[in-house]
Amino acid sequence: MDIIKNYMTFNMMKSSILIIANGPSTLDSQFGDIIDTFDNVARINNFKTSNFENCIGSKTTIWFNGANKKLTPRPQFEGKIVVFVPYEILNKKEKYVIERTPKRLKLSPDRYDLISKEKMKSYENIANVKRPTTGLSSIMWSLENYEKIFIHGFDFFLTGKEHYYDSNFKKKIANLRIVGTANKHDNIGERDFVKSLLKQNRLIKLSDYINKGK
């Protein structure tokens, strides 16, 4: 396919990363073949690719996660691993976080990068968002490490709490929790900050990039 060859050529020429978030919108388009042409494909927390390859591809070279207690360990993962723990947690119990992270990941500390509390605080200050999600933290990290950042599936939980890989039952339970429950993340603030980065051309939506290439 010529269109896929064009994407492959672009990615060989540029220092780029594609971050696939876990929003349900990832299943709206079948971008899998194009996604797998990127040199660097990052996915977040409990992502799943099995049975979703047509929409989101299968390639994963970077795993961004928050080392939270509900995280599914991936001891066989061979790519780069970056861990983002919120500043307020690191500031209160940094030593404990450092000790528990390898247990939660089931990996030795030399297999992952745990981002410092100073860097996590700088992400909050730059985005003007307290306790950014793993998704926003992954964008902030990528802005410092890559020339071009593509994003896909960032829905900011504004219409529900579910992920694309959740079962129908789990989606119902997740969305029931949104009613009357305070959210620990500033989803609207994150959305607005990402919108500002898109306007500044510091981020590129994968769908926009693909549509321009057609």
> In the prediction, which pLDDT does 168 show?
52
What pLDDT sits at residue 167? 58
Q: What is the mean pLDDT of residues 79-89?
A: 98
Q: What integer pLDDT is reported at residue 169 of this predicted model?
A: 47
Q: What is the mean pLDDT of residues 54-69?
A: 97
Residue 185 CA: distances (Å) to CA of 129, 149, 203, 214: 8, 23, 21, 37
CATH class of 2-213: alpha beta
Percent of the chain at pLDDT exceeding 70 = 83
Give the model's pLDDT for residue 60.
98
**What is the pLDDT at residue 156?**
82
Q: What is the pLDDT of residues 153-212, one digit of tens each?
A: 999 866 665 788 875 545 455 555 544 334 677 889 999 999 999 999 999 999 999 988
- Contact residues for 159 (Cβ-Cβ < 8 A; gap 6+): none
Is pLDDT above 70 for 97?
yes
**What average pLDDT does range 85-102 have in this prediction?**
98
Tell me the pTM.
0.86
Q: What confidence score (pLDDT) does residue 70 get?
A: 92
Q: Which of 82-86, 87-91, 153-157, 171-175 has the lowest mean pLDDT?
A: 171-175
Q: What is the share, in percent, of the chain residues with pLDDT greater than 90?
A: 76
